[in-house]
Amino acid sequence: MKTIFFRSAVALSLGLTLGLTACEKQLDLDPRQSVDAATALDSEAKVGSAVVGLYAKLDDPSLYGTQLLLIPEILGGNGYLSWQGSFTTYRDLLNRTTNSLNGLAESTWRLAYQNINQANLVIDALPVVATPDLKAQYEGEARFIRADMLFELVRLYAQQYNSATAGTELGVPLPLAANRTLTQADTDLPRATVAAVYAQVITDLEAAIRLLPEDNGTRASKYTAEALLARVYLQQNRYALAAAQAEDVINNSNKALSPTLVAVFRNRNSSESLFEIQQNDQNNAGTANNGLATLYANIGQLGRGDIRVLGGLVNQYEDSDARGTDSLTFNFTRKLIYVGDGPTRGSNQLRSGKWTAYGQNIPVIRLAEMYLIRAEGRLAAGNTTGALDDVNTVRERSGASELTTISREDIWRERQLELAFEGFRLHDIKRTGQPLEYAGAGGTVTVPSNSPRLVLPIPQRELNVNPALTQNTSY
Amino acid sequence: MKKNLLLSLALAAPVAVVAQTRPVSGRVTAVADGTGLPGVTVLERGTNNGASTDAEGNFRLTVQPGATLVFSSIGFATQQVAVGDQSTLNIKLQADQTLLNETVIVGYGTQAKADLTGSVTQISTKEVENVPVQSFEQAIQGRTPGVNISQTSGKLGAGLQIRVRGSSSVTASNQPLYVIDGIPVTSQDASSDTEPLNPLADLNPNDIESISILKDASASAIYGSRASNGVILVTTKKGRQGLTKVNVGYYVGTSTATKKRKFLNADQYKELFGEAFNNSGYIGPDPDTQYPTLADAFATEAGIDYNSPYNSDWVGAGLRRGHISQYDFNVSGGDAKTRFYLSANYNDQKGIILGNRYRRGSARLNLDHSIRDNVKVGLNFSLTRSVNDRVSEDNAFSNPIQLNALPPLQAIRTEDGKLNQATLYYNNLLDQENGRNRAGNYRSFSTAFLSYEPVKGLTLRTEAGADFLNLNEDLYRAAGTQDGGNTGYGYSNQVQVVNYTTNNTVTYNRTVADNHNFDALLGFSFQRSATQQTSAEGRGFPNPEFTKINSAAVKTAGSGSSLSEFSFISFFGRLNYAFKNKYLVSGSVRRDGSSRFGSDNRYGTFGAGSLGWVVSEEGFLQDNKVLNFLKLRASYGVTGNAEIGNYSSRSLYSAIFYADQAGVTPNTSLGNPSLTWETTTQTDLGVEFGFLNNRINGEVDVYQKNTKDLLLNRQLPYTGGYSVITENVGSLRNRGLEISLNGLVVDKAVKWNVGGNISFNRNEITDLVEPIIAGGNTLAQVREGEPIGVFWGRKYAGVDPANGDALYYTADGGTTNLPSQAVQQKVGNPNPKYTGGVNTSVSWKGLDFTALGQFVYGNDIYNTAGVYQSVNGDYFDNQTVDQLQRWQKPGDITSVPQARLYGANGTAVSSRWVTGGSFFRGKTFTLGYTVPAELSKKGYLSSARIYVSAQNLFTITNYDGYDPEVNTATFGGANYVLGHDFYTPPLSKTFIIGVNLGL
């Protein structure tokens, strides 16, 4: 009896010990779809992947995939479009009744700062990039994207740049260090001033212009950075500086206006494209609840048809203007605004023909904008002829009649006609100081361009975790 | 003594067989009415030599000289009889309502209920057999004190919410650990849909012999880092030596929705929306901003024909009459060497929601064999095929319940009989005609064991178990449907979960000097689980006849493959000691290591201790005529919760795509190398009692569960580039009281039994760095000092009688019509104040009747869809009928604001749509008739029973929505988004008629 007992005990303990040593390493299970952060950026090739990641993030629906181009059209879009969709986030923006819980305001903020940190991580990892050209290119791309994100944030979440008050007006937080650890990531950054944010944007873009190659495929090149800098200066109403950047892009980038504007949105990387978010049918901003085509389009079953184009915009186009409408459905129209024929929306409702395929590329900066920026610069400098030339170059391409006289308001109107639904509306209202006027149910509504309701709220979630932040007035 | 015996039974330890056997036969009858008792287990003590009685209570057995026979049957006091010289035994069994002599399944073993010092609820096969549900948990609702089981939706096979003594976690899982025949099984949803499937529906409820729910630390700590949410042990049926029993069962029935929300009809719709147009100034002479007539306004703004002849019932269009049937067949039996249980079952449920159908076919073989007297080997093997035709998630236009948003003025079908496609929102009936959404599953729960008893009382046991889950999701939406777009959409997903475990245990049971009983356990266990997924997604099909992704022109982003794994290494031990079956002491310990925990914190130790005092064994109570049983018990222990996702401790980079290039990006969650389990310390005090020979018996428990080191996703400022870090911060507490009572009111020819249970649980978050806000349109938050999932938001203050504006409360207690100026405050609590059930059973001769009622009291429900459907005509969604009470003229006192199209009058997320969710439900009613044995014999049957049964027969509630038992899973945050309704389908009311035949 004793021996049996003893033997069994020995056998068992032996079994346990053997089982143990064999099992111990079973606790070290590495993830298969991800890699550890410690080794994620430790070679030239890996840093290169992270740079691709920077562009990929730009296609997130919270950034250029949808919201950076749609929010500025909806907020301030009254009279030009109506929101027919069920998402109250957009409806509240259009009605200027949103609050600090708005999900769009939160996600754009989140993704923009994620990409800024990724740009910072890339810049921090540059010492492992041995090839000098690549190192310059990667730094240029990272700084371009960081500048772009900061510029979009300061335009949306802060009041318009005004040289008199920018030094005290609150902008957005400016994180410039690569965060890897909890201590780094959990820093309560206060809002920098509008002036400080713009200064950083300009510094980064100037560096990017220096570092980026003249031709960088479909990614950001020297001229992309110049074009963005032109846009930044224009937003500051620094016309001469803006025009100088636009001038260099027009003269030296080897870009040319596409023969038709519609081609820019039907084809990929047209001759006029300075920066375009690359998409395809597999990788795009969304086909159900997100994506510009999803929300704008109303072509059979394609798109939700949430955004209806209104007479306030359409009536400004001449009959001959290809950017207007001929009241035909998408498959028959020869113009950029078509009549939706999806089953879930009423008939005879107009839709923008710029966003009509889930996998289409998203032009963010194109040459026509450079002409219109230069036109404003030229007009400000008293060069009326030059300004007329630039505006007419853009108009002729679409069959609009030639202008013979020109004013600031003419150029602003031309921007609305040419750049409609590309994310310019709100920023132009704020920049030009023209009030937003539209016919409401009870008569004309006038919203001053500096209305605090034309600024997005700082997300409540962010205020909750970061006591150093201050909310915008009116939220 | 009793304990010793039961343990040997459980460990199945035969003693050496020595020559000279002799036959014994006899009959077992009930004391109360003298009728023969079928199915009584007759066992030779200390062996597994046994038999069971036939339909009339007769048995026959061959035994050793000097044998003692043990007669046991659920519901009766176990009796031991020394055979002596007798060859015929006539035994009378006394009904035993407390089931105190019942053997309770505990972790890695069994224990007599009377000796148990932990808190365990055990439920027998009777409760889960032949109930028209998909999964066994649905069948035991209302029967489990301290365990709140709620169905979150009426979708067939949908995930359930099970809380053992409250929610003990905020971000890690709150679902208990499920162990089937000793093996922890995959109980997390494996499907790709937002809304979970219940992987336990793969277990045929008719195969279950018992369910044990381990509630306090004493009972559960043997499962260490996975025990904080309680442990549910399921044991499947086994064969017993004796006559081979054959059972054939069939039932069939129909089902309808328990309740429907009421919406406007065509005239009411025109009235409300006509008013809304007018109030918003849309009707008038100004051609730029106004419409001349309502008809123009309806047509242009929403494409609705104001003069439409239709009055469509869209609510009804998404629902239908369901159908259910089940075929069941099992055989069990065996001899002294080999025992078996073999079953086959087919269950087919056509749900009440359009397109919803669940079918399950399963087979099981449980086999055990004695190689020698002290060596046993066994195998439990099951295979299940289930096919679930699923319904879209609640938050999809293709969810049939969302049809209720469509205006009654729009036709369901056009004149030509085709589905109307020109509707306000997607007419998702198209999905039914042009697509499918099917989750097919192969599942096998299997265990093999070998046990060896080298000396009496010492058992070495090794078991290996595997749980294979192979899920195949197949979704197709033809061109013309919403998801199908213009060219069709297909998605196919294969998930394989391979989960295997080995348990190796030594148990030693010994009674010293008749008074000291020791029961010791030592063990080692290893588990590894790997989930592999391969999916394909495509668009662009030639025509709707092509439905597989081979025929798709474009393979889109949903295509991919992935693998995720975890492992556990565990050592455990337990010692139970009983002195004279009077003083009980128990202690257990477990050390767990897991791949999930950070490298700095790989192993944790858990344990519990408990004491029991069977007061009724003391001299002063021994002959008490009234109080015949009284036990006090107390336990204290520490358990963990390891359900945090497999790689949460690491900072990771993942791939991200830019058209045809792949890049990398840091995950938004920052890693934490010291991440570890959550720790729960639980104290439990309990008393068990029986009066009047156990005719009245019950159990009362109070407990406090303190959970610390909560695995919380602490929110980080987005400006740092990350969203969250998972940390062991925060704590919460659950306190509660559970009472269960049973009484045998009449014990004559008529037997009438009444029982009930009630559970109170109070949950409070005691330490939290910052509130967790579920966001979106939900009200759910997690806040310090409040119960989990507290409704937090604007408080609706009704309507300004002067102008019809919606009002909200401000910080100073005043009101405002600007939602932005309203103060955020507590506006509800989704956690019930108490839950429970009442049951009764009456039997008389062959007739039996049972009824089960379930109640939930004091919880709130937020109708998240209120912002669309109960919002005084703000947009064109059809409105609930209560919106007709809108404000119309100054002086009107109402809570529904003035109808203003696009007016955002009362549209803000607020307490406006919070209502009480208490309900009492007539859960299960069954009336059965067992044909007298003489009669069934004539039909060559050993038994025959026919029954009718109703499930969810009635529901008493003030909730004005579909069904008060609701919690949409569509917003995620399953632990704290509680009590939210969002176009969620109701449960079904089911009537069945069935027959069970014994051959």
Nearest to B670 among A182, A287, A343 (CB): A182
Q: Which pLDDT score, from 0 to 100, does residue A342 have?
A: 87
Among B658, B670, B781, most A C-beta atoms within 10 A, so best to mutate, is B658
Among B533, B718, B864, most A C-beta atoms within 10 A, so best to mutate, is B718
* Alpha carbons B781 and B789: distance in angstroms, whole number: 5
SS3 call for B326? strand
Q: Flag if A26 and B526 touch (Cβ within 8 Å).
A: yes
CATH code given to domain A39-279+363-438 = 1.25.40.390
Average pLDDT over residues B654-680: 93
Helices and strands (H, E) in chain B, number of each type: 11, 54
* Alpha carbons B77 and A434: distance in angstroms, whole number: 91
- Pick the range with the lowest mean pLDDT from A136-140, A176-180, B171-175, B348-352: B171-175
Of B972 and B904, the structure prediction assigns the larger pLDDT to: B904
Residue B10 reports pLDDT greater than 60: no
Q: Which pLDDT score, from 0 to 100, does residue B81 have?
A: 85
Q: Which fold has domain B2-96?
A: Immunoglobulin-like (2.60.40)
Q: Flag if B593 and A27 touch (Cβ within 8 Å).
A: yes
Average pLDDT over residues B307-335: 94
Q: Flag if B289 and A109 touch (Cβ within 8 Å).
A: no
* Alpha carbons B131 and B146: distance in angstroms, whole number: 22
Nearest to B652 among A37, A114, A474 (CB): A37
* Alpha carbons B596 and A274: distance in angstroms, whole number: 47
Q: Flag if A301 and B667 touch (Cβ within 8 Å).
A: no
Q: Flag if B656 and A475 touch (Cβ within 8 Å).
A: no
Label the pairing between strands B847-857 and A273-277. Answer: unpaired
Residue A3 reports pLDDT greater than 70: no
Question: Average pLDDT of chain B?
Answer: 90
How far does CA A181 lie from the centroid of its chain? 28
Q: Flag if B288 and A439 touch (Cβ within 8 Å).
A: yes
Domain B136-256+320-644+670-789+829-868+913-968+978-994 has CATH 2.40.170.20: yes
Chain B residue numbers with beta carbons less than 8 Å from the beta carbon of A347 are: 303
Average pLDDT over residues A322-348: 91
Q: Which pLDDT score, from 0 to 100, does residue B15 have?
A: 40
Average pLDDT over residues B420-446: 91
Cα dist from B709 to B568, B608, B610, B669, whole Å: 20, 19, 24, 18
- A241 in contact with B, Cβ within 8 Å: no
Query: Is residue A248 a contact partner of residue A226, using CB atoms and an 8 Å limit?
Result: yes
Residue A199 reports pLDDT greater than 70: yes
Segment B485-515, tens digit of pLDDT: 888 999 999 999 999 999 999 999 988 888 8
Q: Flag if B717 and A188 touch (Cβ within 8 Å).
A: yes
Segment A132-177, tens digit of pLDDT: 999 999 999 999 999 999 999 999 999 999 999 999 999 999 999 9
Residue A188 reports pLDDT greater than 80: yes
Classify the phi-psi angles of A443: left when phi > 0, otherwise alpha if psi is within -120 to 50, otherwise beta. left
Residue A63 CB contacts under 8 Å (≥ 6 apart), including other chains: A57, A108, A111, A112, A115, A149, A152
Q: Which pLDDT score, from 0 to 100, does residue B1 have?
A: 37
* Alpha carbons B126 and B418: distance in angstroms, whole number: 49
Name the band, by pLDDT with cuts 50, 70 and 90, for residue A22.
low
Nearest to B422 among A54, A120, A343 (CB): A343
Segment B394-412, tens digit of pLDDT: 999 999 999 999 999 999 9
Domain boundary assignment for chain B: 2-96, 136-256+320-644+670-789+829-868+913-968+978-994
Average pLDDT over residues B672-699: 92
Q: Flag if A345 and B485 touch (Cβ within 8 Å).
A: no
Chain A residue numbers with beta carbons less than 8 Å from the beta carbon of B652 are: 31, 34-37, 40
Segment B741-768, tens digit of pLDDT: 999 999 888 999 999 999 999 999 999 9
Report DSSP state, residue A472: P
Q: Flag if B721 and A99 touch (Cβ within 8 Å).
A: no
Residue B34 reports pLDDT greater than 80: no
Among A93, A101, A123, A172, most B C-beta atoms within 10 A, so best to mutate, is A101
Q: How many residues does chain B have?
A: 999
Structure ipTM over 0.90, yes or no? yes
Q: Flag if A465 and B715 touch (Cβ within 8 Å).
A: yes
